[in-house]
Amino acid sequence: MKHFLSIEDVKDYKALIASALAYKSNPFVDKTLGQNKTMGMIFLNPSMRTRISTQRAARNLGMEVIVFNLDKEGWQLEFEDGAVMNGTKAEHVKEAAAVMGQYFDILGIRTFPGLINKEEDYSEHYINQFVKYAGIPVVSLESATLHPLQSLADAVTIQELRTTIKPKVVLTWAPHIKALPQAVPNSFAQWMSHWDEVEFVITHPEGYELDKKFTGSSKIEYDQEKALQGADFIYVKNWSSYKEYGQILNTLPTWMVTKEKLDVTNDAKVMHCLPVRRNLVIADDVLDSSNSVVTQQAGNRVWAAQAVLSEILKYS
Ligand code: CP
């Protein structure tokens, strides 16, 4: 694997899930694989889980890690080709990324979307320029449209908790007060639609359809209760509209996932990428119950990242 920007970079996703679970059983088996190598983790946006779990993963493989909060500590970056840099942006990505390529062996980067210009966000304008100019493997720590490290950890969690041959996995939209990116649901839909061992359904109010590029032929059900019937896993997430780009079309409190809604499921495991707003997105009676697997899911971020980094170290 050269880069890890989406599932498209993965040759064998089932083997990658198995590798993550093997690292979970034996975290230090490859503790010298990354010896004398350094990973740079560049953040243009906040993070807790991605920041900590990826560092843990890199260190389990013997790597050094340098974390740099570019948004707060770096020069403001210019991304436009041919820009006359007479404003507030002091450094062009062409130099910044190239310099990082000199310091690091692997570059992880988080760049959220602006949610204003759909074409710009969906072209992955920012992360692609780091790929172009850094000259080293780049790992997405969440980009404008995708969060593949999260999705791999999600798949790992489903794999270890599944009790049926083909579990029903439902991605449900839930309300939120802020306009959030589509990266997590896009990515989850992309991974689930590749996985032939799950029955995947997406449910959301009309107007919240995701980009078909990521959902493929996944089933869409606009009635949440119908969608949840017989579910083995419920993945809860808010996202802003893709059609009316970046807009909150409604905040429908009836879409919050409550304990009562689990009655029609197969005692479903409830997942969320975190952070989650309690009693807005998911009710306390779910998050505090044994149905919630959000902590285990977040824990699996370490093993997912370790599987990805080891593939890059071995094969890039
Ligand atoms: N789920 C996730 O990516 O969490 P952070 O934003 O805290 O990294």
Based on the domain organization, do 178 and 275 belong to the same domain? yes
Q: Are residues 268 and 208 in the same domain?
A: yes
Closest-lying ligand 1 atom to the alpha carbon of residue 45: 6
Do 186 and 280 share a domain, yes or no?
A: yes
Across the chain, what does the average pLDDT equal?
Answer: 97
Say whether both 79 and 14 belong to one domain. Answer: yes
Q: Is the Cβ–Cβ distance between 133 and 144 less than 8 Å?
A: no
Question: Whose CA is closest to atom 1 on ligand 1?
Answer: 273
Is residue 107 in a domain? Answer: yes
- pLDDT of the residue at 8: 97
Domain co-membership, 167 together with 252: yes
Same domain for 305 and 272: no
CATH number of the domain encompassing residue 126: 3.40.50.1370
Pocket lining: 54 vs ligand 1, CB cutoff 6 Å: no
Q: How far apart are CA 157 and CA 298, in angstroms?
A: 9
* CA 52–ligand 1 middle distance (angstroms): 9
The domain of 162 spans 150-298
Do 304 and 294 reside in the same domain of the chain? no
Is there an atom of ligand 1 within 6 Å of 150 CB?
yes
Is 49 close to ligand 1, i.e. is its CB under 6 Å away? yes
Asked if residue 273 has its Cβ within 6 Å of ligand 1, the reply is: yes
Residue closest by Cα to atom 3 of ligand 1? 50
Name the domain count of the chain: 2
Q: How far apart are the C-alpha atoms of 76 and 66, rounded to whole Å?
A: 19
DSSP calls for the chain: ---BSSGGG-S-HHHHHHHHHHHHH-TTTTTTTTTT-EEEEEESS--SHHHHHHHHHHHHTT-EEEEE-HHHHSPPEE-STT----SS--EEHHHHHHHHHHH-SEEEEE----SS-HHHHHTTHHHHHHHHHH-S-EEESS-SS--HHHHHHHHHHHHHH--SSS-EEEEEE---SS---SHHHHHHHHHHHH-TTSEEEEE--TT-PPPHHHHTT-EEES-HHHHHTT-SEEEEE----TTTTT------GGGSB-GGGGGGSSS-EEE--S---BTTTB-HHHHTSTTB-HHHHHHHHHHHHHHHHHHHHHH-
Within a domain: 285: yes
Whole-model pTM: value is: 0.98
pLDDT tens for the chain, 316 residues: list them. 999 999 999 999 999 999 999 999 999 999 999 999 999 999 999 999 999 999 999 999 999 999 999 989 999 999 999 999 999 999 999 999 999 999 999 999 999 999 999 999 999 999 999 999 999 999 999 999 999 999 999 999 999 999 999 999 999 999 999 999 999 999 999 999 999 999 999 999 999 999 999 999 999 999 999 999 999 999 999 999 999 999 999 889 999 999 999 999 999 999 999 999 999 999 999 999 999 999 999 999 999 999 999 999 998 7
Using CA atoms, how far apart are residues 252 and 235, in angstroms rounded to an integer? 18
Is residue 83 situated within a structural domain? Answer: yes
Which tens digits make up the pLDDT trace of 50-85? 999 999 999 999 999 999 999 899 999 999 999 999
In a domain, 1, yes or no: no
Same domain, 164 and 208: yes
272 lines ligand 1 (CB under 6 A): no
Q: How far is the CA of 113 from the centre of ligand 1 (A)?
A: 15
Residues 117 and 184 in one domain: no
Residue at 2 is within a domain: no
Q: What atom of ligand 1 comes closest to residue 46's alpha carbon?
A: 6
The pLDDT tens digits for 192-221 are 999 999 999 999 999 999 999 999 999 999
| Ligand 1 center from residue 49 Cα (angstroms) | 5
